[in-house]
Chain A
Amino acid sequence: MATATLGRRGKAAPFRTRERRRANLRALLYLSPWIVGFGVFFAYPLISTVYFSFQRYDMFTLEPVGLLNWKYFLRDDAAWTSIKNTLWLVVVMVPLRVVFGLGVAQLVTKLKAGAGVFRTIFYLPSLVPLVAGTLGFVYLLNPGTGPVQAILGAVGIPSPDWFGDPAWSKWGLTLLALWSVGDLMVIFMAALLDVPKQLYEAAALDGASAWQQFTRITLPVIRPVVMFSAVTGVIQTLQYFTQAMVAARVASGATDSAGSVFTPGYPDGSTLTFPEWLFQEGFRDFAMGYACVLALILFAVSMIFTLILLRQFRGFSEEEA
């Protein structure tokens, strides 16, 4: 009897297994574009990066070195300087951009006449290529030949060496970021124009001041947009590279000649950002194993902020629901 039961089971089981396997294969087939993309563009690079972080790798030869690259990170002063600078930009530049972008958006949405002109004026700088914009800023603020220094000097106002003094260089980059705040302005304008007018009318009837209207109506309604801008701003700033690299290079007066070397971060490492140091280690000094350590750290931090963003969005969606 037992044998017969087993026999029946033995007959049915391969059929179901075949079916299941076929269904699995079909699912895999449908999923294959994503699986291939995920594997080639995410999983493989990630696994490689982890693997290389335990190797001495000059992009030509591999040599296992255990935890050497990870231990070096703890002793690498330049890496810690770059972390401090990147955090400074996250803490100072990102909030200032959000506040300034929101302020400008408020102004241009309130304008009765010439709104189009002002919107264009504020938006245009964000279309200027990063390198060109940075070159322009460094030229304008150059202590030797820059017109800003000349004008301020003519009226007796002293001006710092914006990109040549470590106390001012990050503020110089922040000015540049505020100048090109047009991208945020557009997002905030869309959000502000979406706030129901009736809320303001009702608040005005109740005697609410402009500040009360802003804090009690505008901000709560556009909160998801502010949050989005802040978190994406943080993620972008964690990858801050081009402006810092160009500004330091041009401001230092470094020249491309034999014996002349340039390290990003001029002056005194004050503009050195984490991605710049990663680039320097990986693609200039060819310490690619160590650069992989830096890349993994950057990935982990960026991932944390991405998760915060996702959680916030989920929160907003639930609130709306």
Chain B
Amino acid sequence: MKRLLVLSATAGLFLMTACTAGTETSAPKIDASSTSHEPVTIEFWHGFSADNELKAFQDTLEGFKKQYPWITVNATKAVQDDQIIQSVRGGNPPDVALSFTTDSVAQFCKANIFQDLNPYLTASKINASTLFPKVIDEYTQYAGKRCVMPMLADTYGLYYNKKLMKGNEPPKTLSELADLAKKLTVKDSKGDIKVAGFVPTSQMYENAPIHTGVMVGAKWTNPDGTSAIGADPQWKTLLTWQKDLTDWYGYDKIEKFRKSFGDEWSADNPFNKGQVAMAVDGEWRNAMLAADAPDLDYGTAPMPVADDQAQRYGAGFIAGTVIGIPRGAKNPEAAWDLVKYLTTDTNALVTLSNAIRNVPSTLPALQSPDLKKDTNFQTFLDIFANPNSTTLPAHINSAFNQQTLQEAQIKWESGRAPDLNALLAGVDKTINEKLKLTAGD
């Protein structure tokens, strides 16, 4: 019986070790492109779901098919990061996967969820540092490993409804934004909001701190990965400003108003419907407005900055879509052909950019004469080119850090946590403890 127990325990431990996905042992042999032109079908998971995006993406894939007729791409839409990770864990990943957020890049690279693309780049003689703008480098690699490539970039700015602005110019500082927001707000006899000049709470669609922190140049982490939030006075500036404006509306009133909004990605978006005069949003909104609210007269501008940082006006947050080859992909060579096409082919990037109005992610595509540059889109190209624009560098707990700060923000905005210093100190503590758990010595 004892022998049986020992045997079972040994087998159990062996199974446990065997069932945990191992690490890659050697670099794969890479060719510049598929050497075989045998017909092959590759699975491609992406996160696009809006109709205009799906159509544009399909058109781009047809361009790929013309260049690589032996490769058929079987695309699956609306896939989230956790589905990608689970598929790799389960040993049945797609050949190519695309992620809308850069939050998982550190995890993708550290745990080898996506393959290191440096050997592919070397084999294809692609120099990433000269092909992509510098800021993109920060969010497509982690600890020297490039496991994803950038496929279009996103920048964030201020959209304003010209009719609701009543002739006012877009604000350049937070004080101007607050004053104008109050001036443009319309309330009914009960004090309920009918039109908001600007919804300041962090829960408003794109008002997450990752986007709005840039308005004050706030810092997330120290070089050792620990939290810099509590010690950075800029976060206090931003949160105090948000709270003051929220209090002017009344938290209950602004929440009631916010909860009457339609889906962000539908034609019922409050900006489309004229429920808000100004809103923070990404460059992609241009294409959605063209599709869903073609008659809306609107303009775009950089996000306002802190009153004492006028020289930073014009900067914004930059992130983007990333794409790579998951570990265990069945057709890595054909997969690399698709990744290479979608991330380095100027025509493909310009075509996609023109259709869904994302910012092209390579320098040649940005300078392409075929890139449509209307006034509203040009704002985002300028934000992208601004040297003060920043991204959130890859961090192993990127999503957790953002969640922790945003939860604290909600408590603060609602008035349920009155001591901002204590609140942000708590954010630091939580983030630093989590860092020890996931990456400490």
Give chain A's interface residues, CB within 8 Å of chain B. Answer: 39, 43-44, 47-48, 51-52, 56-62, 68-69, 72, 75-78, 142-145, 161, 164, 166, 251-263, 265-269, 283-287, 290
Contact = CB atoms under 8 A, between A and B. Distances in A.
Contact of A260 (B20, B206, B407, B430): B206
A60 B101 contact: no
Given A51-B13, A59-B21, A286-B107, A143 B255 contact: yes
Give the residue among A77, A144, A283 with the most B Cβ atoms within 10 A.
Answer: A144
A11 B267 CA distance: 91
Nearest to A57: B20
A75 to B, nearest CB: 6
Nearest to A250: B259
Contacts of A262: 403
Contacts of B85: 59, 286
A122 to B, nearest CB: 30
Interface residues of B, number: 67
B430 A257 contact: no
Given A56-B438, A58-B438, 9 more contacts: A58-B107, A60-B112, A143-B252, A144-B259, A256-B80, A258-B102, A265-B407, A268-B411, A285-B438
Interface stretch (B53-61, B66-74, B302-310, B394-402): B394-402
Nearest to A270: B416
Given A258-B100, A269-B407, A144 B257 contact: yes
A255 B261 CA distance: 12
Given A47-B12, A253-B203, A268 B416 contact: yes
B6 interface: no
Contacts of A61: 20-21, 23, 111-112
B40 interface: no
A244 B86 CA distance: 23
Contact of B399 (A57, A68, A144, A285): A285
A290 B319 contact: no
Given A48-B12, A258-B100, A60 B111 contact: yes
Nearest to A142: B259
Is chain B's binding surface mostly helix, strand, loop or mixed?
A: helix
A34 to B, nearest CB: 15
B151 to A, nearest CB: 13
Interface string B236-249: 00000000000000
Q: Which of B21, B211, B402, B403 has the most CB of A within 10 A?
A: B403
Interface string B265-304: 1000000000000000010000000000000000000000
Contacts of B399: 261, 284-285
Contact of B113 (A60, A72, A259): A60
B437 A166 contact: no
Nearest to B211: A259
Nearest to B397: A285
Contacts of A68: 436-437, 440
Given A72-B433, A287-B438, A257 B100 contact: yes
Contacts of A258: 100-103, 154, 282, 319, 321
Given A142-B259, A144-B259, A268-B410, A166 B112 contact: no
Nearest to B417: A268
B331 interface: no
11 contacts: A59-B111, A60-B88, A75-B433, A161-B252, A161-B259, A251-B259, A253-B261, A261-B399, A261-B402, A261-B403, A285-B399
Contacts of A290: 437
Interface in B390-431: 397, 399-400, 402-403, 406-407, 410-411, 414, 416, 426, 430
Contacts of B264: 255, 257
Nearest to A60: B111
A285 B414 CA distance: 27
A143 to B, nearest CB: 5
A76 B432 CA distance: 11
B134 to A, nearest CB: 20
B407 A268 contact: yes
A260 B100 CA distance: 11
A78 B426 CA distance: 12
A143 B255 CA distance: 8
B438 to A, nearest CB: 6
From A256, A266, A290, residue with most partner B Cβ within 10 Å: A256
B16 A77 contact: no
B15 interface: yes
A255 B440 contact: no
A287 B436 CA distance: 11
B20 A60 contact: yes
Nearest to B426: A77
Nearest to B407: A263
Contacts of A62: 17, 20
Contacts of A57: 20
Contacts of A265: 407
Contact of A252 (B8, B203, B256, B430): B203
Contacts of B112: 60-61
B278 to A, nearest CB: 18
B180 interface: no
Given A161-B252, A255-B264, A260 B205 contact: yes
Nearest to B101: A258
Which 7 residue pairs across A and B have the least CB separation, nearest first?
A144-B260, A144-B259, A60-B111, A258-B101, A263-B403, A258-B100, A259-B210
A145 B397 CA distance: 36
Pick the most buried of A47, A61, A257, A258: most chain B CB atoms within 10 A of its CB: A258
B82 interface: yes
B208 A260 contact: yes
B368 to A, nearest CB: 24
Nearest to A265: B407
